[in-house]
Amino acid sequence: MTELEESIGYHFKNRKLLTEALSHSSYANENKRNRRSNERLEFLGDSVLSIVVSQYLFEHFSHLPEGELTKIRASLVCEKSLHIFAGKINLGKFLLLGKGEENTGGRERASILADAFEALIAAVFLDGGLEAARTHILNFIPEDVEAQRHAAFNDYKTILQEVIQQNPEEKVEYVIVDQSGPDHNKAFTVNVCLNTNVIGVGTGRSKKEAEQMAAKEALKLMGYDEAQ
């Protein structure tokens, strides 16, 4: 763990937070006694990541409208980018995985690495505060960040949000309705709801992928070419 701390330039006061951030659900399930997975930290880290990236873009790209900022942010916080960020610190090497996940390539799986990266953000945030988390996150923002606006063309959630924003009273929500399979081969099903009406259903190997597929289906049903 010291090697990982050196890699990210942050040393934990509470090492238990770092251990939790690295603990995949498959490992926690096999070591139930006093062991928690990183799923709760992932939830918090997702929000911390979003606010830090949003503020950074707001302050550094005052010439861009809201829609462009949204696309850049989406491309920076998507699973693909988080997988790349995790690779820069060799995060997979430090993960605590169950035997099934270990034997099926879990250390290289994009969804697991992306989730662990978000959990690590939360651990830094809880241990050192927002400024520590901000410093950690901004180390991964690429120099050509503005070019990221062109990388979001497959971000169906962002496209759907832009469509829905044309009617401010409407609200979009993503709801996990099913998850099945062993830890190393999970399948998630997500409904995307407009107010209380289901407008799309998606499945995927991760929650993020399932949400994207649900948004894609919703766009197709609405007749938007971006989802083709």
Kindly list the catalytic residues. 46, 118
Rounded to an integer, what distance in angstroms lies between the CA atom of residue 57 and that of residue 206?
Answer: 27
Angle, helices 66-77 vs 79-88, to 10°: value is 50
Residue 200 in contact with residue 192, Cβ under 8 Å?
yes
The secondary structure of 16-65 as a DSSP string is HHHHHHHB-HHHHHHS-TT---SHHHHHHHHHHHHHHHHHHHHHH-TTS-
**Pairing of the two strands 187-194 and 197-204:** antiparallel
Joined together, the tokens standing for residue 201 give 């259903």
